[in-house]
Amino acid sequence: MKISWDSIIGHEKNIAQLQQLLREARMPHALLFCGPHGIGKFLTARVLAAALLCEETTAACGSCPSCRAILTDTHPDLYEIEPDGKTVKMIKIEQIRRLQAEISRAPYLADKRVIIINEADSMNEAAANSLLKTLEDPTGQVVFILIAASRDGLLDTILSRCRMMQFQPLPRPKLAAALLSRGVPAEASQSAAGLAEGSFGRALDLYENGGLALRDEVLEFLAKAVNFSLEDIWSESQRLGELKRDKLQEWTVYVNMLLRDFLVLYGAVAGEPLYNSDALPKLNGQLPDWPLPKLFGALEAVKTVQKRLTSNVNTRLLMEQFLLKIRDLK
């Protein structure tokens, strides 16, 4: 993997700002990168860490001992924290205490330490309060880079001690071009870019893990669901109920996206692009089966399913109720 600024897709303004801070030696002791998952915040944090620890330049030379250590994930002065847990993943106070013990020691290879806390908005209250004390009175030369989907999950007192940089979703053309450069076929690149909501990580996952095929399956489902017989509902709810919960949750996301695209075609969502522009002929073909009142009812039903899927619910019965609701909407 290449550790350099030009390995980052987009975010030119943020990169230019970080490079200026590096050149002028004005790097804050704590930064917060905010924005949706999978858009390049973590990669930017790793490149910034390489630049801060590089022994030769402020741009990460790629060849000094520090840069080589980062490439092999063995740099003793780069410390990373990820959420922990088997069911609910969060950053816990034990992880922050280990961090505090680590930064109390002098740097080994560089003249400073860099701490990356990924998904910092998943910290529980005890961990957040413990981190706050460290941010208020850091030991030695250390730079903290916090990464979060939203600032809302962080204490105001932590926010006040960080310089925030907002990362925006990537534009579709840039996303599609990046997928093409990774060897994804042109048609699949356009389809995945439309569905990924500006996230390169999500777009790549869609292509590599069957997301596009699942979207097509949902599109076919919507074409048939309006005319389901009771027998169809029983068999389809059985099939959907046997899916793994995370796959079923993904299935509901595509249902929501496709229904929302019908709203766009009706002009009910002003100025928004289609998620599924590659499927426009099929969407237009199905549109007469989805009048606006039925669409709004279906979207509400999907929202209910998504909420209940986060609890210990019988998925077959849940999908049975959902399919009956869809069929009976007018």
Same domain for 116 and 12, yes or no, is: yes
Sign, CA dihedral 303-307-310-315, equals negative
Number of domains in the chain: 3
Q: What is the dihedral of CA 262, 265, 270, 272, to 10 degrees?
A: 70
Same domain for 146 and 17, yes or no, is: yes
For residue 36, give the CATH number of its domain.
3.40.50.300
Same domain for 159 and 179, yes or no, is: no
- Give me the mean pLDDT over the 69-78 stretch: 91
Same domain for 34 and 57, yes or no, is: yes
Same domain for 13 and 151, yes or no, is: yes
pLDDT at 61: 81
For residue 258, give the CATH number of its domain.
1.20.272.10
Task: Summarize pLDDT for 224-268 with one digit per residue, the tens.
Answer: 988 888 999 999 999 999 999 989 999 999 999 999 999 999 987
Say what the pTM is: 0.80
Same domain for 107 and 248, yes or no, is: no
CA atoms of 20 and 112, how far apart (whole Å): 19
SS3 182: coil
Same domain for 74 and 153, yes or no, is: yes
Same domain for 103 and 197, yes or no, is: no
Same domain for 53 and 129, yes or no, is: yes
Same domain for 282 and 146, yes or no, is: no
Same domain for 160 and 51, yes or no, is: yes
Host domain of residue 181: 172-203
Task: Summarize pLDDT for 111-130 with one digit per residue, the tens.
Answer: 889 999 999 999 999 999 99
